[in-house]
């Protein structure tokens, strides 16, 4: 059966109390849905809420972080380490989100170093984001960009392959209301699949999400595409009722 992972990325939104309200609603809604082992939900929440959301979720879905530093520890004011995420009971971490790459200037090398740290110093899953800008798309460079960003994946050993999910998030589709076309998504997911295969990923370990303006209305047609193993959702994950509708639409697609 096809995989369907629905991950929320709250970015810099919500207070602790709002987060817990959301978690309670989602937990209740999931307990009323009949889900299969191939379907799962995860929330990437602000650092301060990981521990409380994890506790409140009671394993009914996973709770993760939106970022992590590559150093083990040290003088990095404002940063968070792999050990700290483990301590807060994070189940996964997002690395290489386009907002980290483009607003905070994170390079491919830095993100690769974070990936290595997450693999060596944690046991959690990793959502590794890739995607081209509008200029790169218009210049026909999508494949080159994906190949460049995914060079980091060569560091992943056979036993760690299962901890990784790739999220294809074209930068021009993130937060813009412009969802990529089925053709764009299928083509990029095929390119990513080919890259992972050439890095000796086994077929079951290849999991590729799509992200960028996913909503409750368009999610069913996206998750139905071949090679799409789920979605990463920003704006449409902030309201609990709307996100629950989105999860239902994805799981019944
Ligand atoms: P969006 O964000 O759904 O608001 O486009 C997606 C993301 O940033 O992961």
16-52 pLDDT, tens digit each = 999 999 999 999 999 999 899 999 999 999 999 999 9
pLDDT at residue 1 is higher than 80 = no
Instruction: Output the CA 171–ligand 1 centroid distance in Å.
Output: 9
Instruction: Output the CA 174–ligand 1 centroid distance in Å.
Output: 5
pLDDT at residue 155 is higher than 90 = no
Catalytic residue ranges: 97, 169
Atom of ligand 1 nearest to the CA of 177: 5
Q: Residue whose CA is closest, atom 7 of ligand 1? A: 234
Which of 212, 236, 238, 242 to probe ligand 1 with, by most ligand atoms within 8 A of CB?
A: 212
pLDDT at residue 221 is higher than 90 = yes
pTM of the model: 0.97
Ligand 1 pocket, Cβ-based, cut-off 6 angstroms: 9, 169, 174-175, 211-214, 232-236
Number of continuous H segments (helices) and E segments (strands) in the chain: 10, 8
What stretches of the chain adopt beta strand conformation (E)? 4-9, 39-44, 62-65, 92-95, 125-130, 164-168, 208-211, 230-233
Neighbour count for residue 94 (Cβ, 10 Å): 23
Which of 10, 104, 178, 211 to probe ligand 1 with, by most ligand atoms within 8 A of CB?
A: 211
Q: Residue whose CA is closest, atom 2 of ligand 1? A: 234
CB 43 within 8 A of CB 24: no
pLDDT, average across residues 96-113: 97
pLDDT in tens, 112-142: 999 999 999 999 999 999 999 999 999 999 9
Atom of ligand 1 nearest to the CA of 98: 8
Q: Comparing C-alpha atoms, which of 225, 127, 211 is closest to residue 168?
A: 211
φ, ψ (nearest 5 deg) of residue 45: -110, 165
CA-CA-CA-CA dihedral for 107, 113, 119, 124, to nearest 10: -40
Counting Cα atoms < 13 Å in the Cβ hemisphere of 185 gives 27
């Amino acid at each position: 059966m096809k995989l369907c992972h629905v991950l929320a990325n709250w970015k810099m939104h919500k207070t602790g109390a709002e987060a817990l309200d959301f978690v309670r609603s989602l937990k209740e809604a999931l307990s009323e849905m009949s889900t299969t082992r191939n379907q799962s939900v995860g929330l990437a929440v602000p650092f301060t809420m990981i521990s409380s959301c994890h506790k409140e979720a009671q394993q009914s879905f996973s709770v993760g972080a939106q970022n992590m530093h590559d150093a083990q520890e040290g003088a990095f004011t404002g940063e968070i380490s792999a050990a700290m995420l483990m301590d807060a009971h994070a189940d996964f971490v997002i690395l290489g989100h386009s907002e980290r790459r483009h607003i905070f200037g994170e390079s491919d090398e830095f993100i690769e170093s974070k990936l290595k740290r997450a693999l060596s110093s944690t046991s959690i899953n990793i959502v590794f984001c890739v995607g081209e800008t509008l200029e790169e798309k218009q210049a026909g460079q999508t494949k080159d960009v994906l190949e460049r960003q995914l060079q980091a994946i060569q560091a992943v050993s056979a036993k760690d392959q299962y901890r990784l999910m790739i999220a294809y998030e074209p930068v021009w589709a993130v937060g813009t209301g412009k969802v990529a076309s089925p053709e764009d998504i299928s083509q990029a997911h095929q390119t990513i699949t080919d890259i992972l295969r050439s890095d000796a990923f086994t077929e079951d370990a290849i999991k590729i999400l799509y992200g960028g303006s996913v909503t409750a209305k368009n999610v069913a047609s996206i998750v139905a595409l071949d090679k799409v193993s789920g979605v990463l959702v920003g704006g449409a994950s902030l309201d609990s009722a709307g996100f629950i509708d989105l999860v239902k639409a994805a799981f019944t697609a």
